[in-house]
A = this chain, B = another copy of it.
Amino acid sequence: MKKLIWPGSTQLAPVPAVLVGTGGNNWKNNLITVAWVGIVCSNPAMLSISVRPERYSYKALTELREFSVNVPLASQAAIVDWCGVVSGRDHDKFAEQKLTALPGSRIQSPLVQECPLNLECQVKDIIKLGSHDMFIAQIVAVQVSEDFLTGSGRLDLEHDGGVLGYAHGHYFNLGKCIGHFGFSVRKKSGPIIRK
């Protein structure tokens, strides 16, 4: 298959599309949509988000040095998109999207009650890279909606359309489960296909 060579660009896919929440300490509650987010360390659990300095949330992030990462369902794609298009300078995003600000257990910034999975994050370092500054943060607590736990207490985000993915400018839900980590070497049982 022939390859074309292009200049460097941000073609990684799929990436998460999450709602980052800030507020408290005289900052109004706000949300910003971030796709430049990823896990960067397992122990301690850490992630990074990258945000342009000209975004309204940037100053809150640098002053508060904390934020929530709210993992949305595919069915919440329109909310995620809207929060990425309009600015907190002109909108009360929680009120206009009828979202509930849930108190964090370890941070003052609000979590989004309606998202099934919420990560409470404390900033450890801010690195200037160019168009974006990278906020490296420890995930100090996780909140999960009880309805998304199986009987055995395992997180199962596959109902209600599953979590939201983002690939090359388009939002997707997740499709079929192909197998779990290690399936390729579990020869006796073969790949585990979730029905």
Interface residues of A (CB under 8 A from B): 1-16, 18, 35-48, 50, 69, 71, 74, 77-79, 81-82, 84-86, 102, 105, 113-114, 117-120, 125, 127, 129-132, 134, 136, 138-147, 149, 155, 157, 161-165, 167-185, 191, 194
State A173–B144 Cα separation when bound (angstroms).
24
With A9-B142, A145-B3 in contact, is A38–B41 under 8 Å at CB? no
With A139-B8, A173-B178, A179-B170 in contact, is A48–B42 under 8 Å at CB? no
B168 touches A3 (CB 8 A): no
Majority secondary structure of chain A interface residues (helix, strand, loop or mixed): strand
With A36-B40, A38-B15, A42-B10 in contact, is A174–B184 under 8 Å at CB? no
Enumerate 29 A-B pairs (CB-CB under 8 Å) in ascending A order: A1-B114, A1-B146, A6-B143, A6-B144, A7-B142, A10-B45, A10-B47, A13-B16, A13-B157, A13-B163, A14-B14, A36-B38, A36-B39, A38-B39, A38-B40, A41-B132, A42-B130, A74-B178, A77-B184, A78-B179, A125-B127, A129-B136, A162-B175, A164-B178, A165-B165, A171-B177, A171-B178, A171-B180, A172-B176
- Which of A38, A45, A125 gathers the greatest number of chain B CB atoms within 10 Å? A38
Q: How far is the CB of A108 from chain B (nearest CB, A)?
A: 16
Residues of B within 8 A of A71 (CB): 11-13
Closest residue of B by beta carbon distance from A175: B175
A182 touches B85 (CB 8 A): yes
Closest residue of B by beta carbon distance from A1: B145
State A55–B50 Cα separation when bound (angstroms).
27
A10 touches B36 (CB 8 A): no
4 cross-chain pairs, A with B, having the tightest CB-CB distances, nearest first? A38-B38, A175-B175, A41-B129, A81-B184
B170 touches A165 (CB 8 A): no
B15 touches A131 (CB 8 A): no
Q: How far is the CB of A185 from chain B (nearest CB, A)?
A: 5
